[in-house]
Amino acid sequence: MARGVPGGAGVSAILGLGRYPEAERAALEALGARMVADLDALRGLDAAARAGVRALAFRGHAPFGAAEMALLPRLGLIANYGVGYDAIDIAAADAAGIRVSNTPDVLTDDVADLAVGMLLMQQRRMLAGDAHVRTGRWAAGQGFGLSRKLSGRRVGILGLGRIGRAVAERLAAFNCEIHYFSRSEKPTPGWRYHADAVELAAAVDHLVVTLVGGPATEGAVSARVIAALGSEGVLINVSRGAVVDEDALLDALEAGRLGGAGLDVFWDEPRVNPRFAALEQVVLQPHQGSATRETRAAMARLQRDNIEAFLEGRPLPTTVN
Ligand code: NAP
């Protein structure tokens, strides 16, 4: 049923913002959504079209605050496509009486898989190994050298939420010793709690960052945390770019004061600092933690479930505020 088109041509109760996989775009349109690619396109809609919008299917990382919310005067729901909603100003949404929903749990496995995959790639020099074979250096008899063992190492999890716990469970299966930082100690199968990020980094070989993004965690991986990890340490970040002091990270990698990094997120995506490209000891990914066909379909389904529940006056499956 096209629930989103109560007001005639050009006016829809659902507005889809951002670029979606084709199937997910089609599913939103089948609900009656009008689609716009970005905030400029949203601003370009006429006043009647904006006034008809009650639910926004939000995708992206461009800040969405009070000024953007005011463009949609009847907006009642921002349904985020993703678990991290740091782009959305929750205080402004509260003040405007707008509900916000997200897509937790369905993406946890994929993001944890990518984090562990990057750590394995980094430790076992898999990018360099691939190049060694492809370029014919192996066939020409050149040696490849030795990498480092991952199984059994001490790994720290910075932020033992859903994704952090899933990373820890995977690495526990590699016989790694698990340490973690959270705002409070949590029930775990014997994992070691640290009340401070520097103390955590000093206690482990490698650190995986799984905190939320946003002002409260900006720069949480500071120069001191990176220094505590040390010249053999590897930093993995699948959280948000702004959680890591990127200049301090680059300085440490270039100077050999940090062993390596695996990064799915960056300060200024997708314009990644070109200093990273010159570093062999980093694995770089295009913010693809949840980007499998299966998980993106599940995220989109949950986003639509939230929109339908809101428009039909039912409790939302996943709310933020
Ligand atoms: P979650 O279960 O809510 O866990 C969030 C973690 O952040 C928890 O450990 C929590 O601390 C901590 N935290 C929250 N607010 C904090 C604050 N003010 N100060 C310090 N720590 C704080 O979320 P999740 O589902 O694991 O997702 C975590 C993040 O991963 C998302 O927010 C998103 O940014 C990122 N993510 C990235 C991708 C990707 O493609 N790379 C995909 C999905 C998600 P406590 O343990 O103390 O409660």
Contacts of 315 (CB under 8 A, 6+ apart): 309
* Probe target for ligand 1 pocket from 102, 105, 163, 320, with the most ligand atoms within 8 Å of CB: 163
Contact 199, 148 (CB under 8 A): no
pLDDT band at 2 (very low <50, low <70, confident <90, very high): very low
Q: Quick one: tokens of 258?
A: 């940090």
CA–CA dist 18, 214 (Å, integer) = 20
Indicate the Cα dihedral angle 190, 196, 200, 202, nearest 10°. -140
Q: Which of 61, 275, 287, 301 is catalytic?
A: 287
pLDDT band at 8 (very low <50, low <70, confident <90, very high): very low
Q: Cα 79 vs. chain centroid, distance in angstroms?
A: 16
Domains of the chain: 14-104+293-311 (3.40.50.720), 108-284 (3.40.50.720)
For 160-175, the pLDDT digits (tens) are 999 999 999 999 999 9
Residue 168: φ, ψ to 5°: -60, -45
Q: Quick one: tokens of 52?
A: 């008809």
Atom of ligand 1 minimally distant from the CA of 212: 32
Distance 168 CA to ligand 1 centre (A): 14
Mean pLDDT over the full length of the chain: 96
Mean pLDDT, residues 116-143 taken together: 97
Which residue type sits at 204? V
| Alpha carbon distances (Å) from 117 to 111, 203, 237, 286, 298 | 10, 22, 12, 14, 22
Q: Which of 240, 246, 296, 308 is catalytic?
A: 240
Atom of ligand 1 minimally distant from the CA of 82: 43
Examine the residue annotation and report whether 269 is marked as an active-site residue of this protein.
yes
How many Å is the maximal CA-CA distance in the chain?
Answer: 71
User: Which among 182, 236, 178, 227 is positioned nearest to 202, based on CA atoms?
Assistant: 227
Contact 132, 163 (CB under 8 A): no
Examine the residue annotation and report whether 240 is marked as an active-site residue of this protein.
yes
Confidence at residue 11, expressed as pLDDT on a 0 to 100 scale: 78
For 32-89, the pLDDT digits (tens) are 999 999 999 999 999 999 999 999 999 999 999 999 999 999 999 999 999 999 999 9
pTM flag (> 0.85): yes
